[in-house]
Each structure stands twice: as C-alpha cells, then as structure tokens.
Amino acid sequence: MKERLKEIKNEALEQIQSAADEKKLQDVRVYFLGKKGQITEVLKGMGKLSKEERPVIGQLANEVRDEITEALESKQTKLEQAALEQQLKEESIDVTLPGRPVQAGGPHLLRNVIRNIEDLFTSMGYAVAEGPEVETDFYNFESLNLPKNHPARDMQDTFFITEELLMRTQTSPVQARTLRKHEGQGPVKIICPGKVYRRDTDDATHSHQFTQIEGLYVDENIRMSDLKGTLNTFAKHMFGEDRAIRLRPSFFPFTEPSVEMDISCKICHGEGCSVCKGSGWIEILGAGMVHPNVLEMAGFDSKKYSGFAFGMGPERIAMLKYGVEDIRHFYTNDVRFLKQFHGV
Ligand code: 2U9
C-alpha cells in the first residue's frame, strides 16, 4: 500500500504539472481526491492491515493528500494568473479615448413656450397661479357666466366624472378661484398656465387635451387701453418688434366687451399672402374686459373694480413661431421632432 500511495503521489504531481487549464485541473482533483478517487480506493484496503501498520499507512495517506492539495492550489493560482495576463494582452484599453457623450434630454417645446410667456408676464408683475385639472361645474362654467343650459357650453363639451365634476375645459376656473380668495380686494394680477380638456376629434389643429395660458388683471381703473398695451407688449416679445396687432370685436360669456387679437403676417406685413390666407393678419388669442357678473360672483364690487382677461393656446403660439404644421406632433413624442427644439 505504501508503494501504491507513492505511485499515486507521483502520478498526481505529474498530471497537475501538465494540466493546461482549470477544467483539466478539476478532473485531476476528482480522480485522485474525490469520493471515489484513488486515495479512497487505497484506504478501503486498510481493514486488511495489522494494528501496527494501520496508523503508518493512515499518516502516509494524509501526507500524500496534503501534498496533492497543495500542488493543486498552487497550480490553480498559476493558471488564474496566466488567464488574467492573457486577457490583459488581448483587451488593450486606450485610456486617452474621449468619453462617450451622454444623451441629454431637455424641456418639451411647449414647456419652453409656456416658460417664455411666464417670464414676460412675471417681469410685468404678474404671479403664476395653478389649479386642479378635475374641476367643479361651478368654477369651470357657472362662476364664469356660463349657467347650466347656456348654449356656449356646447363649444366646450368635455369629460364628465360626475354631474358636478369634470376635466376643466379652460384654465379660467383658476382665475375664478384666485379672485374668490382675494375676498373682494384688488389688485389681482395673475397668469394661469395648464392642461385643459375638451371632447374633440383629434386632427391637425384639434386635440382632446391641450394647454392654455390665461391672464387676469383686476384693480380699480383698469381699462381696455391697459389690455391693448399689455397684448401689444406680448406680441412684440413673442413674435418680434416689427409685428403690429389688431383687435376685432368678438364674444365670450366671461368678458364684455370681448375681442380677438391678430398679429400682422410676418411674410407680407399686412399686405396679404398665402401664409395669412390673403388677409394680412393671423389670429393669436382672445381677450376682453371681465364681465361684471363674473366679478360680482367672485365677491368683487363691479362698480369699484374692473379688469381685463386674455387667453391663448401655447400650441398655436408654438405652431406659428416655429412653423409646426400639426398639433399632434406635440403629443406623439417623436424624438426627431422634439430634438429640433432643444434650448429654444
Ligand atoms: C375670469 C375672467 C375672464 C379668459 C379669456 C379668452 C378670452 C380666450 C381662448 C383662446 C384660445 C382659449 O386656448 S383657447 O381656446 N381664450 O379667448 N379667455 S378671455 O377670461 C377670463 C377668465 C377668467 C375669472
């Protein structure tokens, strides 16, 4: 048995020496040290030995096992090192290469347009006010001089949640809420941006959800000339100093008198061309002097206070300013469209 153990040791050391990879080394480990390996085979014959021989052979078997284990471990380390060196040789890294650029996102075009409008009006002393998108029938319609069954409600059909709760059709309820909070004390000078909803079939110029930005200035002695000056400043800020404005009479239930504002066409400057469809003017927004009923309903004395209001769709402003031909581009999130307006 002594001889066999010595043979095992020599064979094992030789095979470990010549093992070319970790898989081979593992096979050698199993063959010699495994449960059914060569050393176990030898130890099975221990029963036939004399009392004196048994510990001698047992000790020798342990020594052989330890030597083989040590040789396996040292070979394992060598193989790992060799593999690492090989990998380093094959994968050369050029640390001087410039880093890959990070894809930076940016605000949506509509956000930029809204921020631009907010910046202008806050510079004129307006505060930005926001309110809920799920509104009550009272704030969305009744407080704005649109009682139940008023025919003008048809133009603003929307998504009702209950009889009295709906997705707001305009941001005007935010102004109505703010007025009420002021408890009949002016001035109130706010702009209200936000999402609004209407029951509409989507096409190039309509969307069931779009954005609005509305303004309201209520104080003593606010006149139509204040409105005209403010809108003129806005038009020139947004579209250029060379643009003229024109006010046309119109109708809104919440303002009296009401107007619609056009800006002169940037192509023909009022002469008439294909862009402005021959009129020389392009419609931008609606406005008017706040209806006395609306002031009274919000708790303001309409004999003491007056005010103007205006409303516009940032989509329309963006379409005219940047030549966007379809409102659906704002909402379908094609990055090729969105990327063109990073940083505007
Ligand atoms: C209060 C009093 C008055 C808000 C106004 C308009 C005129 C208007 C439209 C333009 C295009 C909405 O996005 S659009 O469809 N808006 O023409 N909005 S005056 O008047 C108010 C609002 C609140 C308390």
Contact 164, 136 (CB under 8 A): yes
Q: How far apart are CA 139 and CA 144, in angstroms?
A: 7
Cβ contact 170:311 at 8 Å: yes
Residue 258 Cα to ligand 1 middle (Å): 10
Q: What six digits make up the tokens of 114?
A: 């809204």
- Closest C-alpha to ligand 1, atom 16: 311
Positions of the chain with pLDDT under 50: none
Residue type, position 269, single letter: H
For ligand 1, pick from 191, 222, 254 the residue to mutate: most ligand atoms within 8 Å of CB: 254
Q: Which atom of ligand 1 is nearest to the CA of 298?
A: 24
Q: pLDDT at position 89, please?
A: 86
Shortest-distance Cα residue to atom 21 of ligand 1: 309
Question: What separation in Å is there between the alpha carbon of 287 and the centre of ligand 1?
Answer: 6
Rg of the chain taking only CA atoms, in angstroms: 42
Q: What is the pTM of this model?
A: 0.73
Q: Which residues are annotated as a binding site for Mg(2+)?
A: 256
Please tell me the distance between residue 212's alpha carbon and the centre of ligand 1 in angstroms.
9
Number of Cβ within 10 Å of residue 112's Cβ equals: 18
CB–CB of 273/281 below 8 Å?
Answer: no
Q: Which two tokens stand for residue 125?
A: 């002393």
Cα of 252 vs centre of ligand 1, distance in Å, is 8
Report pLDDT digits (tens) over 35-73.
999 888 888 888 888 888 888 888 888 999 999 999 999
| Distance separating alpha carbons of residues 65 and 68, to the nearest angstrom | 5
User: Considering only CA atoms, which of 154, 194, 187 is closest in space to residue 170?
Assistant: 194
Question: 224 with 308: CB under 8 angstroms?
Answer: yes
Ligand 1, atom 11: closest residue by C-alpha: 312
pLDDT at 342: 87
